[in-house]
Amino acid sequence: MAKIKAVIPAAGLGTRFLPATKAMPKEMLPVVDKPAIQYVVEEAVAAGIQDILVIIGRNKNAISDHFDAVPELEGRLQQKGDHSRLERVMKSSEMADIHFVRQGEPKGLGHAVLRARTHVGDSSFAVLLGDDLIDEHETLLPDMIAAHERTGAAVIALMRVAPEQIHLYGAAAVETTDVDDVVTVTGLVEKPSAEEAPSNLAVIGRYVLPPAVFDVLEHTQPGKGGEIQLTDALQELASAPDGPGVVGVVFDGRRYDTGDRVDYIKAIVQLAVDRNDLGSDLRPWLKDFASRL
Ligand code: UTP
């Protein structure tokens, strides 16, 4: 397949994280010492994607600034001979070809994805939610790209969640295929109650989509929460008899929704413990802390 582009929607309001997100996008909240969105960009780059479009909204200039070069800061670090920090600072502006487009009003994830149409054109593309972190050791995105290349279908990532959690996600009705961890998606419901949910397989923030999804999004009406939902557009693709169809890659690895406060704290603790430069200081403290709970 020709090289695919990635789209990172980052124009949501981040209401779950107010007041921290009043003037700062949630995608810029630091996870240890990098903003959440940088991990997401690094994941796309690791999967071989070089062209990345970030969908930004109100108060989102911090995101474009973060991926820009800062010559004064770089010059100062150079003078001080602080090469490791210099390298880390320059990485964010050099690692990929990063573009931005504004959503205007946050009318929902489906609406945000539709804003990518001009940039993406008539090609398949990946969508990575800017607040959803997948551990760097996982191969979810390459697995999804491979599933798309095999099937031509829209590929979504699914994760099993507890029944009392499913109302926070889109939920999928599925049938097994002869490939382990790959399912055919026969239906999708956005944020169902536990009783309405067709399964406990929740849609998480990675997608590999054919361009046909844009035509569907053009006429998708506002759904749950009055927002244009990507899930509703994918439900239409899943039920169209002549369309590309939808398949799911079932993921059971490490993933954090940094837009959720508890998951955000878990992400910081887990990633810091794993780091060579921080883990040895943090681990004994954490053990002691946990023993006193
Ligand atoms: P969320 O539903 O997690 O984002 O959207 P939100 O609306 O900002 O969160 P809360 O519920 O108010 O706290 C998932 C992703 O889609 C983007 C968000 O930025 C996030 O990365 N999004 C959502 C948009 O880009 N535009 C929208 O209109 C909605």
Statement: residue 244 has pLDDT above 70:
yes
Tokens, residue 21: 């997100």
Taking the domains of the chain in order of start, what are their residue ranges? Answer: 5-259
pLDDT in tens, 174-195: 999 999 899 999 999 999 999 9
pLDDT in tens, 188-229: 999 999 999 999 999 999 999 999 999 999 999 999 999 999
69 Ramachandran zone, left/alpha/beta (phi>0; psi -120 to 50):
beta
- How far, in Å, are 3, 204, 254, 257 from residue 263 at the CA level? 32, 14, 11, 6
Mean pLDDT (the chain, rounded): 93
Q: How far is the CA of 13 from the centre of ligand 1 (A)?
A: 6
**Which of 3.90.550.10, 3.40.50.970, 1.10.760.10, 3.30.950.10 would CATH assign to domain 5-259?**
3.90.550.10
pLDDT score of 70: 83
37 Ramachandran zone, left/alpha/beta (phi>0; psi -120 to 50):
alpha
Q: Where does the pLDDT of residue 278 fall: very low under 50, low under 70, confident under 90, or very high at 90 and above?
A: very high
pLDDT score of 3: 85
Ligand 1 atom nearest the C-alpha of 132 is: 21
Instruction: Report the distance separating Cα 22 and Cα 179, nearest Å.
Output: 45
Among the residue ranges 1-10, 193-202, 250-259, 270-279, the one predicted with the least confidence is 1-10
Q: From 118, 110, 122, select the one nearest 4 (Cα to Cα).
A: 122
pLDDT score of 1: 53
Q: Ligand 1: which of 109, 128, 129 to mutate, judged by most atoms within 8 Å of the beta carbon?
A: 109
Statement: residue 59 has pLDDT above 80:
no
Q: How far is the CA of 73 from the centre of ligand 1 (A)?
A: 32
pLDDT score of 204: 97
